């Protein structure tokens, strides 16, 4: 009898759960919106983190449903998510109707993981407050001030490239460019001499790289935290590994304490954070807020820039004619500026801008940009109502590889970014840094260090593909940022 009761209870619970699941998965169907049929439990995330980079996964849904409506509905596990397809809707989300989408809706847990409460994750008024305070750190005037610091690191990069070209002749281009960008940001943000280019075992470099190469959670679990972030926060889940939290907390605490004790000002990013922390502001930054902003500027800043550099060198190695054209352009502009690598010289390298833009088109640092509906939103021209709390995943990778906007969309062609071609495209067809109020605050800095890295690497060196580089490239599936399984190995030859 007891067994029968238990069995009946299990059957009833199972049936109830299945019916509840069906109800959850009928959300988009009941709305009458185009949607991708979900899988049991996983929703539309089956394979993410194992087979597909998230940008490539969402691209499949984008291509399949394009033309059927302004968006396609999918599911992160049991949670409904909007993937906008129409570029006017994308523009509305990012700019025109920003007040309906002012949060990213990402997971963070400041209590247990202070590194996670940074500018990219904070919601609403807290995001706006910190964004407004940090904006002065990224003006063009500030970029011009710190440019000589980047050039100083670039000289070390050239010495390293010369050493490699005369001995090993092969280079893991991501490794060498990551060392360059770690040293740049260590100097420009923290006032620290990281010396990653000279010291192969540098802790600053290896801990920073581990944030992305050995994340605490894979992509699938990160989506789970995103979908159920309130529950995850209550349960004390963290974004970063404990040793990463400990290292950055200790490092930044020492920098802050040392500068305050010795009344040191360097005019860098850390100076601005310290003034916001201890100055006479009405609402000063807490130390944990300072810590989180310093962390994200360092980690995201070096990783995204070094990835852009590796993909750019890869495409130039695959396209020797474009590589030579880029090198000639660099040397011509430098010649016009007396052979000196100056801020003004880099600003005049318009073809180099096109090369970088085309790299960012094919390999945007993040394949998708996430937003959250913060109040019920009626999709223009339709009867669809997106409910408050619904996540929105803008398919950057998919849009930028859409042949409607970029002919021969998988080919590397810097001419996609001539003035004429830029004007002929819809506004939202190219969004590697986002757009609107949430546009990446460090985009200007990132472009500057990428340009200096390319100038340094290209003007005296030629690159070809090594046999160690697999083709086609296989994007890593274990993390959101765009990277390559096995790295990109290039042969390097000094020209003079």
* CB count in 10 Å sphere of residue 404: 12
Residues 6+ apart with CB under 8 A from 378: 384, 385, 386
* 162 within domain boundaries: yes
pTM, two decimal places: 0.92
Q: What percent of the chain has pLDDT over 90?
A: 49
CB 447 within 8 A of CB 440: no
The arithmetic mean of pLDDT across residues 82-111, rounded, is 93
Query: What pLDDT score was predicted for residue 2?
Result: 63
Quote the tokens at residue 290.
């300072």
Query: What pLDDT score was predicted for residue 13?
Result: 58
Instruction: Work out the angle at residue 447's Cα, subtended by the Cα atoms of residues 48 and 355, and round it to the nearest 5 degrees.
Output: 80
* 332 within domain boundaries: yes
Nearest Cα residue to 316 out of 443, 481, 490? 490
Quote the tokens at residue 131.
């964004």
Query: What pLDDT score was predicted for residue 410?
Result: 94
Query: What pLDDT score was predicted for residue 477?
Result: 66
For the annotated binding site, the residues are 440
Query: What pLDDT score was predicted for residue 243?
Result: 94
Ordered DSSP codes for 388-448: TT-EEEE-HHHHHT-TTTSSSTTS--GGGGSHHHHHHS-GGG--TT--GGGS-TTHHHHHH
Query: Which sign, positive or negative, has the C-alpha torsion 328, 334, 340, 342?
Result: negative
The arithmetic mean of pLDDT across residues 155-184, rounded, is 89
Query: What pLDDT score was predicted for residue 113?
Result: 93
Interatomic CA distance for residues 70 and 66, integer angstroms: 8
Query: Which sign, positive or negative, has the C-alpha torsion 48, 50, 54, 60?
Result: negative
* 386 within domain boundaries: yes
Ordered DSSP codes for 113-150: -GGG-STTT--HHHHHHHHHHHGGGGSHHHHHHHHHHH
Which of 40-44, 169-173, 442-446, 472-476 has the highest average model confidence (pLDDT)? 442-446
Model confidence pLDDT, tens digit, residues 358-395: 999 999 998 899 999 999 999 999 999 999 999 999 99
Domain that holds residue 482: 28-494
The rounded Cα 252 to chain-centroid distance in angstroms is: 23
Quote the tokens at residue 111.
């209590």
Query: What pLDDT score was predicted for residue 205?
Result: 84
Number of domains comprising the chain: 1
CB 443 within 8 A of CB 433: yes
Residue 7 — very low, low, confident or very high, per pLDDT cuts 50/70/90? low
* 10 within domain boundaries: no
Model confidence pLDDT, tens digit, residues 310-341: 999 999 999 999 999 999 999 999 999 999 99
Looking at residue 237, which CATH number applies to its domain? 1.10.630.10
Query: Which sign, positive or negative, has the C-alpha torsion 49, 50, 55, 57?
Result: negative
Interatomic CA distance for residues 295 and 298, integer angstroms: 5
Residues 6+ apart with CB under 8 A from 88: 70, 380, 428
The rounded Cα 218 to chain-centroid distance in angstroms is: 16
CB 146 within 8 A of CB 297: no
Which of 193-202, 300-309, 353-362, 472-481 has the highest average model confidence (pLDDT)? 353-362
* 153 within domain boundaries: yes
Residue 53, phi then psi, degrees to nearest 5: -70, 145
Query: What pLDDT score was predicted for residue 374?
Result: 94
For the annotated binding site for heme, the residues are 440
Residues 6+ apart with CB under 8 A from 117: 108, 109, 110, 288, 289, 292
Interatomic CA distance for residues 437 and 67, integer angstroms: 28
Residue 109, phi then psi, degrees to nearest 5: -150, 85
Model confidence pLDDT, tens digit, residues 188-242: 888 878 788 888 788 888 888 888 878 888 777 888 888 788 888 988 989 989 9
DSSP state of 284: P
* 473 within domain boundaries: yes
Strands 385-386 and 461-465: unpaired
Cα-Cα end-to-end distance for the chain: 90
* 443 within domain boundaries: yes
* 23 within domain boundaries: no
Quote the tokens at residue 424.
């002929």
Interatomic CA distance for residues 10 and 73, integer angstroms: 32
CB 304 within 8 A of CB 365: yes
Which of 191-195, 249-253, 438-442, 454-458 has the highest average model confidence (pLDDT)? 454-458
Q: Which residue has the tokens 């100076």?
A: 271
Strand, helix or coil at 236?
Answer: coil
Nearest Cα residue to 273 out of 121, 134, 141? 134
């Amino acid at each position: 009898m007891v067994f029968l009761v238990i069995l009946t209870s299990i059957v009833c619970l199972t049936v109830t759960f299945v019916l509840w699941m069906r109800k959850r998965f009928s959300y988009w169907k009941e709305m009458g919106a185009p949607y991708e049929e979900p899988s049991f439990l996983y929703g539309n995330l089956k394979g993410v983190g194992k087979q597909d980079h998230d940008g490539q996964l969402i691209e499949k849904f984008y291509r399949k449903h394009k033309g059927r409506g302004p968006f396609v509905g999918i599911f992160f596990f049991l949670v409904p998510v909007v993937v906008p397809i129409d570029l006017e809707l994308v523009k509305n989300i990012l700019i025109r109707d920003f007040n309906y989408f002012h949060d990213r809706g990402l997971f963070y847990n400041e209590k247990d993981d202070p590194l996670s409460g940074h500018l990219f994750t904070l919601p609403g008024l807290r995001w706006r407050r910190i964004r407004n305070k940090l904006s002065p750190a990224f003006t063009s005037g500030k970029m011009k001030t710190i440019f000589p610091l980047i050039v100083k690191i670039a000289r070390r990069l050239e010495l390293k490239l010369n050493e490699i070209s005369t001995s090993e002749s092969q280079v893991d281009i991501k490794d060498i460019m990551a060392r360059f960008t770690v040293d740049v940001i260590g100097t420009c943000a923290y006032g620290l001499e990281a010396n990653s280019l000279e010291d192969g075992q540098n802790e600053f470099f290896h801990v920073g790289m581990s944030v992305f190469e050995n994340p605490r959670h894979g992509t699938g679990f990160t989506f789970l935290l995103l979908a159920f972030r309130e529950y995850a926060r209550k349960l004390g889940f963290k974004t970063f590994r404990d040793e990463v939290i400990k290292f950055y907390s200790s490092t930044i605490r020492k920098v802050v304490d040392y500068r305050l004790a010795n009344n040191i000002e360097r005019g860098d990013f850390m100076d601005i954070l310290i003034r916001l922390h201890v100055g006479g502001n009405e609402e000063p930054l807490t130390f944990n807020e300072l810590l989180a902003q310093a962390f994200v500027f360092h980690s995201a800043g070096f990783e995204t820039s070094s990835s852009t550099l590796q993909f750019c060198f890869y495409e130039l190695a695959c396209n020797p004619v474009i590589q030579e054209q880029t090198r000639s352009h660099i040397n011509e502009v430098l010649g016009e500026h007396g052979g000196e690598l100056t801020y003004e010289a880099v600003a005049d390298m318009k073809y180099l801008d096109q090369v970088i833009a085309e790299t960012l088109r094919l390999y945007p640092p993040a394949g998708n940009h996430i937003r959250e509906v913060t109040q019920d939103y009626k999709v223009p021209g339709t009867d669809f109502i997106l409910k408050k709390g619904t996540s929105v995943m803008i398919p950057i990778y998919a849009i930028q590889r859409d042949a409607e906007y970029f002919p021969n969309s998988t080919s590397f062609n810097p001419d996609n970014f001539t003035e004429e071609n830029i004007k002929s495209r819809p506004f939202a067809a190219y969004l590697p840094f986002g757009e609107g109020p949430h546009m990446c605050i460090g985009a200007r800095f990132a472009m500057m260090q990428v340009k200096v890295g390319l100038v340094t690497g290209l003007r005296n060196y030629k690159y070809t593909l090594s046999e160690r580089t697999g083709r086609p490239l296989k994007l890593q599936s274990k993390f959101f940022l765009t990277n390559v399984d096995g790295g990109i190995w290039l042969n390097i030859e000094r020209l003079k």
